[in-house]
Structure 1
Amino acid sequence: MSENQNPDQTNADQSYSVPVLFVPDLVVLPGMVVPIPLDDAAQATIDAARATESGKLLVAPRLDDRYPSFGVIASIVQVGRIPGGQTAAVVKGEKRAQIGSGTPGHGAALWVEVTEVTEPAITDEVTELAAEYKKLVLAMLQRREAWQIIDAVNKMTDPSALADTSGYVSWLTDVQKRELLETADVATRLRLLTEWTGDHIAETEVSDKIADDVRNGMEKQQKEFLLRQQLNAIRKELGEDEPDGADDYRTRVEQADLPDDVRAAALREVGKLERASDQSPETGWIRTWLDTVLDLPWQVKTDDSTDVAGARTILDADHHGLDDVKDRIVEYLAVRSRRAQRGLQVVGGRGSGAVMVLAGPPGVGKTSLGESVARALGRKFVRVALGGVRDEAEIRGHRRTYVGALPGRIVRAIGEAGSMNPVVLLDEIDKVGSDYRGDPAAALLEVLDPAQNHTFRDHYLDLDLDLSDVLFLATANVVENIPSALLDRMELVTLDGYTEDDKVAIARDYLLPRQRERAALVDDEVTFTDAALREIAANYTREPGVRQYERLLAKALRKVATTLESGSATVPVTVDEADLKDYLGRPRFTPEAAERTAVPGVATGLAVTGMGGDVLFIETTATTGEPGLKLTGQLGDVMKESAQIALSYVRAHADELGVDPAVLDKTIHVHVPAGAVPKDGPSAGVTMVTALVSMATGRKVRADVGMTGEVTLNGRVLPIGGVKQKLLAAQRNGLRTVFIPQRNEADLDDVPAEVLDALEVVPMTDVAEIVRRALEPAGAAAAAA
């Protein structure tokens, strides 16, 4: 007996013998009317059934692994021939029956003893399950638009009959139908059918959605294909060519002025485009690549100006000072002119491009100088901002296999310029970073190497690009941040900042005219006196450049425009030194060296930062406690070592310096103000020695003295860098005497004459001599006390 069969649901009195018909690949449930092809054994069963009084037979599934437990008592509806000439019997299932043992029969038919299975009483649960199952069946039939069957199902009220209609459905397997045949309990059958039908509906919905998507996609492709064919036919009738077709690309490549290797590569890609399908994503990549290649000016070059004097005039008109850069550009132009005259434009397959890096503090005109250079040479100008670039692909381009791939910034700059010999300004090259995407500075090594950049290969183009005729100008604030291998490939031109006289001249000739125009003023309406311009440079801005200077001029001109518009002033308006407080407020800077050095133990040093030169005050004091050195002011390791060397030197030469050794046995505290600003470097060594001696002897450091230089343990003064910027800072801060290392005396050739006239620059070799000349006499300190 099946595990799904309830013994209480059987009736022993209804047992009787009937002939059995085993049917392969078919499960007949009660209520089903099905045709069964007849072979000899089946024909014998049909004949035996027709010979009985009831005319009944048992239809059971034929199983390979076991003898069936259940079947269906069926009656014969009709026997006849079906198409093909084979005889078939149409039988109708009536009741479930449990199969017992075989019994002797008559003829060739097999007889078995069967017991009919009585249906259980219909409960509320069965009614609810039948309603839920009917809902699923109707939903399935509606999807198939089987309206006649829907009417028949709607009329069914018997839950058992409704469940047995599942024998007709195609989404149930024979195994599932046999399980339904062997399950007499209606509720159990309805639960199984509800679960199976729900799963089938979910699968059908997913399949239908996928089929709809595929069908819609195919319809869209077919529609696009049809429209494109119609569009091509219309254009052909109008005599217009197809702009996006492969034939058009082949024509464009053949007609373009390309180098031989570039033309060969482009024709290979055109061949791929002709063989590819319009729906293939590769066609988009190929077209984008071909458009990029065809847009590049492979054979286009501008003619350089040969007027050396005229070029120098243009440079002088655009920028004040900067003679080193101007001389280098004029030299480059002169050599180009002579090479052109002698037919040496190209030597060894390479042009004569130059690579220069303009290094200096902000606001000195590095970026704007690039446009002036391009104008002086008669070349195109393009600027490439490198600040914050961290992806190597920004320089070398992306591989074409990436989605959204683009050529690198160098190739894009060439395309934007429209010529192969533009002036390319690589702005803020010291701000280039690196991360997991690579090091852009390393990618620039080939770009900026005159010995290699004639065969620069961009990853996107995958073609050799000759950059040897490009004039590369790079700008940087801090040279130390540029990798040494990259810096080695460029000519370093340093812009150290402007003197006070330079700033006044720049303001008068460049800044004021520009800001007057922006404020809608003319020369006759407002003028600035030289005293006012000098006061702004001296006490309102202390910067190496003129950026803040220009902002203050703009601020003053806006206030002038406001007074003229409101009628509180009349033209012409003259801005003098005394008027600056009304227009700009109080001065932001005042000389502070005298105030800071008014006590012993404070010395004035000179330093160089990313913003240019500046003064640096070193403060020292001795406190009770264990002998030792305490350092504050966010100092770097090199500067800490300089402080230790300075203290060791003072202790070792205490008698020579007039220092009481007992003072140095206390806790020596060295502080460098502006503690939030990191400081490092060895050039404060002599300043620390001077401050320590001043503290130990009680003699103040002269207020007008500044100094710079590295000190050794035996008191030698070693050379340092940034002499010009430090002397400019000394002049801006009102110092009069500056001690520098003897070996830096050659650097004074680069210092403007007005700075040297304003300062007494004293080269020194011994720090003891610096101390002797920097400290006030002992008598003066006592008299002041």
Structure 2
Amino acid sequence: MTNPIQLPVLFLSDVVVLPGMVVRVELDEPARAAIDAAQMLNGPSAPSVPEGAASRQTGASRPAAGASRESGKAAQVLIAPRFEDRYASYGVVATVEKVGRFSGGEPAAVLKAGGRARIGSGVTGPGAALWVEVEPVDGGAVDDEVRALAEDYRKLVVGLLQRREAWQVADQVTRIDDPAALADTAGYAPYLSDDRKRRLLETPEVRERLRLLVEWTRDVVAESEVSDKIDADVRESLEKSQREYLLRQQLAAIRKELGEGDPEGSDDYRSRIEAADVPDAVREALLRELDKLERSSDQNPEAGWIRTWLDTALDLPWSVRTEDDTDVVAARAVLDADHHGLDEVKDRITEYLAVRARRAERGLEVVGGRGSGAVVLLAGPPGVGKTSLGESVARALGRRFVRVALGGVRDEAEIRGHRRTYVGALPGRIVRAIKEAGSMNPVVLLDEVDKVGSDYRGDPAAALLEVLDPAQNHTFRDHYLELDLDLSDVLFIATANDVGSIPAALLDRMELVSIDGYTEEDKVAIARDFLVPRQLERAALAADEVTISDEALREIAANYTREAGVRQVERLLAKAFRKATARLATGDVARVDIGVDALVDLIGRPRFTPDVAERTSVPGVATGLAVTGMGGDVLYVETSVAAGEPGLTVTGQLGDVMKESARIALSWVRSHADELGIPGAAFERSIHVHFPAGAVPKDGPSAGVTMVTALVSLLTGRPVRSDIAMTGEVTLSGRVLPIGGVKQKLLAAQRAGVAEVFVPERNRPDLDDVPAEILERLTVTPVGEVTEILARALVAAQEGVAAA
């Protein structure tokens, strides 16, 4: 262990001194105090330097020859870095080599750093300097690993110096053998920050210092290589651009002498603009952009953007319009031939054609949006024919059809287009649809408008407001085109599964036409007239090779599917016909007749069986009705009571509205317990209300009466009739509030085998939209009070079942 020594401290803030470095220090008051204190202790060994002489040391002026003199022990000081937030823990012991005045006249001293020293406690000493006790530290043993690290660092430093053409310094680094001395040469490295140099100073272990230096120097070398590559690429690009510019100028001069024009130049665009049948405002904008193109050089990147914009604008069908077929009878025949049912939609299209024909007869302006009303929104579950109906409308009108899929669109620029300043800018989907259709009055189907999202890139639904507003879309402005585009003669038809997901402002601009689903008879008719012929054609089957009976179709619609549309029916038919094709291919049979008995072999067992009676056989279970994005569905409500802390538990992944309905239902039952014959002790136990199929999110104000019925059934021990279902919201006073989706709910009840359905009294007008065959099969009972439902829905208590 090295004995401690006492030295005056010289703090430096502008430079970090490592062992082996020679530095020049200007003698301000603190520095002068430290130097004087060192000379008092060890004697004035440092020679003086005449004024104006220059020092040969690094960073100092060279002293005059013969100015130094020999003496005894050299004066020493401790050089330590200055920190703003703490005291230095390490420094270097430096000897005072020279003191005097250097070129410039200011007093200075030349110090040579020796080894590291750990700074201890402060001590007293002569002079005005700060004295501390320091302990010299050793860098550790030099083994093979240290030598390998030193060699790696040497190679990195030499390579970096050679890249910067510092050959002499590289030779000096090569001649250093001591790993510790090699590591401490980093004090001269300009690419290392003062913080890193202080870290090296405070790292006495030579092995650790070399590891840090290898890591840092590799980063510097990598950055230097990237910078050199970028500089080389820039120089090469500039040389190439200059060479191309010179060649293009020569080529232009040669063409001019030969009298040849540029086939891809502005003359071609000017002739296209002159020949184009476009509005005057559009022609002015085209010529304005063409003038900018002619004034710009080929090296200007804006020239490419202008060419792309001109191509896009000229490709739009500004003056192309198709003639509408105003024969209302023929159009209705086309719609009836393509789709079964859907009378409301067909009537709406027929009315549209009748209005246009009437305006044309009387010489009035025939404009799509401004002359015919709002945009039609076809809303309904999947598989009911919304998209195919748009194609039929276009065929009935004699217009061109184009589909714009909006599902998952989250960028507003997809609707309005990108600004031309962006690289890769494109017009919006509306403009692209017009270009694809090739006319200014196509039928544009905006598919899945309810699945448009919004994020930091904007709100596409808000951008659709201008597109779908008949009062605005005659001057629709796309961000890319920046031209007024008349969309008023475009027939927009939007489709959606869930109307509740559409923003209110957007929904207000569309005329809602609901397609709630098909009855069992409708599905059989659609399958017989449309699906079976299509699937026979896809399976390459003739009508006399495979047949399927109406009973089999009815069995598929009733017990194999529970959907509002016919998509699953078509899949099952395709599966049956594929298996029939395989049987014909084997040669075992020459004809396949598909009846009810053959369905199990062809498409498997029925997936759905009536279970309402089984589910409601015990008290506390009631059958409700709900509307989802897939159409109407049966919703069971199960309740139970158990010993425990009084309270209500509601499960089944419910929204806030349904949770609130459950609390209202329980409050109503508790307030009418005496009338219902429920003992007060029943509410002192834990009540649990559960909606099965918990993985399906459920919310909405239509399950209140169902929960009241289930709770009363549980607490009185009286089961709910198995042939009924109900829908409606209940208030604290027992009133039944109206709900939506009556038609879809009644269709779901009919599919589930329910005989009677309770609906709110205020929903009686909605029954006019329900097919007559559904009303014939179901007994629909409008009710105004929840007590009316309880009086008819609950049966006598089962023997042995006591009230809670």
User: Fold conserved (TM > 0.5)?
Assistant: yes
How far apart, CA to CA, are the structure 2 residues paired with 1:744 and 1:519? 46
| Contact kept in structure 1, 2:622 and 2:710, CA below 8 Å | yes
| Contact kept in structure 1, 2:564 and 2:630, CA below 8 Å | yes
Match of 1:729 in 2: 748
How far apart, CA to CA, are the structure 2 residues paired with 1:507 and 1:764? 37
| Contact kept in structure 1, 2:639 and 2:690, CA below 8 Å | yes
Which residue of 278, 281, 304 maps to 2:324? 304
2:392 is equivalent to residue 372 of structure 1: yes
Shift of 1:244: 2.2
| Contact kept in structure 2, 1:352 and 1:469, CA below 8 Å | no
2:237 is equivalent to residue 217 of structure 1: no
| Contact kept in structure 1, 2:369 and 2:470, CA below 8 Å | no
Structure 1 pair 5–560 and aligned structure 2 pair: CA distance change class (3 A) = closer
SS of the residue corresponding to residue 578 of structure 1 reads coil
Q: Percent identity?
A: 70
| Contact kept in structure 2, 1:526 and 1:571, CA below 8 Å | no
Match of 1:619 in 2: 638
2:535 is equivalent to residue 512 of structure 1: no
Q: Deviations over 1:523-576 (max 9, x none)?
A: 1110111111011111111000111111111111111111111223x2321110
Q: Any gaps of 5 or more consecutive residues in structure 2?
A: 1-52, 67-102, 106-157, 167-223
Match of 2:199 in 1: none
How far apart, CA to CA, are the structure 1 residues paired with 2:57 and 2:376? 96
SS of the residue corresponding to residue 358 of structure 1 reads strand
Match of 1:23 in 2: none
TM-score by length of 1: 0.72
2:780 is equivalent to residue 761 of structure 1: yes
AA in 2 matched with 1:409: R
AA in 2 matched with 1:222: L
2:471 is equivalent to residue 447 of structure 1: no
Q: How does 1:454-603 map to 2 (within 5 A)?
A: 454-568=474-588, 570-603=589-622
Shift of 1:346: 4.3
Structure 1 pair 597–211 and aligned structure 2 pair: CA distance change class (3 A) = closer
Q: Deviations over 1:67-99 (max 9, x none)?
A: xxxxxxxxxxxxxxxxxxxxxxxxxxxxxxxxx
Which residue of 770, 775, 779 maps to 1:751? 770
AA in 2 matched with 1:381: F
How far apart, CA to CA, are the structure 2 residues paired with 1:546 and 1:209? 62
Structure 1 pair 322–706 and aligned structure 2 pair: CA distance change class (3 A) = same
Structure 1 pair 205–663 and aligned structure 2 pair: CA distance change class (3 A) = closer
SS of the residue corresponding to residue 777 of structure 1 reads coil
Q: How does 1:45-84 map to 2 (within 5 A)?
A: none
Shift of 1:2: 5.4
AA in 1 matched with 2:742: V
SS of the residue corresponding to residue 482 of structure 2 reads coil
SS of the residue corresponding to residue 274 of structure 1 reads helix
2:413 is equivalent to residue 389 of structure 1: no
Q: Deviations over 1:616-644 (max 9, x none)?
A: 11011111122221111111111111111
Shift of 1:767: 1.0
Q: Deviations over 1:199-235 (max 9, x none)?
A: x99999997775444222222333455557767888x
TM-score by length of 2: 0.71
| Contact kept in structure 2, 1:622 and 1:664, CA below 8 Å | no
Match of 1:414 in 2: 434
Which residue of 675, 688, 702 maps to 1:656? 675
Match of 2:796 in 1: 777
Alignment: residue pair count:
604
Structure 1 pair 351–226 and aligned structure 2 pair: CA distance change class (3 A) = farther
Match of 1:269 in 2: 289
Which residue of 412, 423, 427 maps to 2:443? 423
2:309 is equivalent to residue 285 of structure 1: no
How far apart, CA to CA, are the structure 2 residues paired with 1:203 and 1:753? 80
2:729 is equivalent to residue 705 of structure 1: no
Shift of 1:678: 1.4
How far apart, CA to CA, are the structure 1 residues paired with 2:252 and 2:545? 66
Structure 1 pair 506–763 and aligned structure 2 pair: CA distance change class (3 A) = same
Match of 2:355 in 1: 335
Structure 1 pair 206–589 and aligned structure 2 pair: CA distance change class (3 A) = closer
AA in 2 matched with 1:693: V
Structure 1 pair 415–230 and aligned structure 2 pair: CA distance change class (3 A) = farther
Q: Deviations over 1:139-164 (max 9, x none)?
A: 99xxxxxxxxxxxxxxxxxxxxxxxx
Shift of 1:243: 4.1
Structure 1 pair 778–558 and aligned structure 2 pair: CA distance change class (3 A) = same
Structure 1 pair 724–231 and aligned structure 2 pair: CA distance change class (3 A) = farther
AA in 2 matched with 1:674: A
SS of the residue corresponding to residue 598 of structure 2 reads helix
Structure 1 pair 446–273 and aligned structure 2 pair: CA distance change class (3 A) = same
| Contact kept in structure 2, 1:741 and 1:763, CA below 8 Å | yes
Shift of 1:5: 9.4
| Contact kept in structure 1, 2:368 and 2:490, CA below 8 Å | no
Structure 1 pair 526–768 and aligned structure 2 pair: CA distance change class (3 A) = same
Q: Deviations over 1:185-205 (max 9, x none)?
A: xxxxxxxxxxxxxxx999999
Aligned-residue Cα RMSD (Å) equals 3.3
Structure 1 pair 412–675 and aligned structure 2 pair: CA distance change class (3 A) = same
Structure 1 pair 781–271 and aligned structure 2 pair: CA distance change class (3 A) = farther
Which residue of 273, 286, 291 maps to 1:253? 273
SS of the residue corresponding to residue 597 of structure 2 reads helix
Structure 1 pair 721–542 and aligned structure 2 pair: CA distance change class (3 A) = same
| Contact kept in structure 1, 2:360 and 2:366, CA below 8 Å | no
Q: Deviations over 1:155-181 (max 9, x none)?
A: xxxxxxxxxxxxxxxxxxxxxxxxxxx
Q: How does 1:88-99 map to 2 (within 5 A)?
A: none
2:337 is equivalent to residue 321 of structure 1: no
Match of 1:718 in 2: 737
2:673 is equivalent to residue 673 of structure 1: no
Q: Deviations over 1:34-89 (max 9, x none)?
A: xxxxxxxxxxxxxxxxxxxxxxxxxxxxxx999xxxxxxxxxxxxxxxxxxxxxxx
Structure 1 pair 226–538 and aligned structure 2 pair: CA distance change class (3 A) = farther
How far apart, CA to CA, are the structure 1 residues paired with 2:626 and 2:718? 24
Structure 1 pair 348–515 and aligned structure 2 pair: CA distance change class (3 A) = closer
How far apart, CA to CA, are the structure 1 residues paired with 2:619 and 2:248? 89
Match of 1:163 in 2: none
Structure 1 pair 65–349 and aligned structure 2 pair: CA distance change class (3 A) = same
Once the two structures are overlaid, the 10-residue window that deviates more, 606-615 or 336-345, is: 336-345
Structure 1 pair 244–571 and aligned structure 2 pair: CA distance change class (3 A) = same
How far apart, CA to CA, are the structure 2 residues paired with 1:645 and 1:482? 29
AA in 2 matched with 1:622: V
Shift of 1:427: 0.6
How far apart, CA to CA, are the structure 2 residues paired with 1:214 and 1:309? 71
